[in-house]
A = this chain, B = another copy of it.
Amino acid sequence: MSYIERTMKSEKVYEGKVLNLRIDTVELPDKKYSKREIVEHPGAVCIVPITSDNKIYLVNQYRKSIDKEILELPAGKIEIGEEPKECAIRELKEETGLTANKYEYMTEFYTSPGFCNEKIHLFFARELEEGIATPDIDEYIDVKTYSLDELLHMIQIGEISDGKTIIGIQMINATFASKNE
């Protein structure tokens, strides 16, 4: 059965730098109306930069939304006209200084489809070369490396609390496990 909601009215509440907010009035399958608050986001990339001996680079940064520092895989918003892979190359370089000779597309997923259209494109980055980070002028980032086993343990005990980072680490582990089978 298909439950598509027809848009009867769409009101743009805010247009910003990172996101827009709009309120849609929709017609439900029973013909009644409801409102949907929708955050529009241009999409993002997330990168798992992994060395030949399975060390993974993460970034620690303060996030205003949650008012604390949080450990994440390198990631960033896709700019207008930018391809996801191009964005991955740029963000990895900016946040960590790393360049990778090999990028592998892993998967893509929605972070919060209940109210937001943000889609994250996930990449592995291998054959890494270190360089100088050039973060945005409003980004303050510490780069750290961990072994895959350490990170899996940190997920289990709740020390990794960023969704895309949990997914990236679990996905690379699943890929390695399936190759060893």
Residues of A within 8 A of B (CB): 1-5, 7, 13-14, 16-19, 21, 23-24, 26, 28-29, 32, 34-39, 41, 44, 61-67, 69-70, 72, 75, 77, 107-120, 137-138, 140, 142, 152, 155-156, 158, 160-164, 166-167, 170-171, 174, 178
Is A39 within 8 A of B3, CB to CB?
no
Partner of A64, one of B21, B36, B61, B155: B36
Is B110 within 8 A of A163, CB to CB?
yes
Partner of A116, one of B75, B112, B160: B112
Is B113 within 8 A of A18, CB to CB?
no
Chain multiplicity (copies): 2
Is B161 within 8 A of A109, CB to CB?
yes
Known contacts: A19-B39, A110-B70, A112-B116. The answer to whether A4 contacts B62 by CB under 8 A is yes
Is B163 within 8 A of A163, CB to CB?
yes
Known contacts: A19-B39, A26-B64, A35-B17. The answer to whether A109 contacts B4 by CB under 8 A is no
Partner of A32, one of B41, B137, B160, B166: B137
Q: In the complex the two chains form, what is the Cα distance from A167 to B140 in whole Å?
A: 28
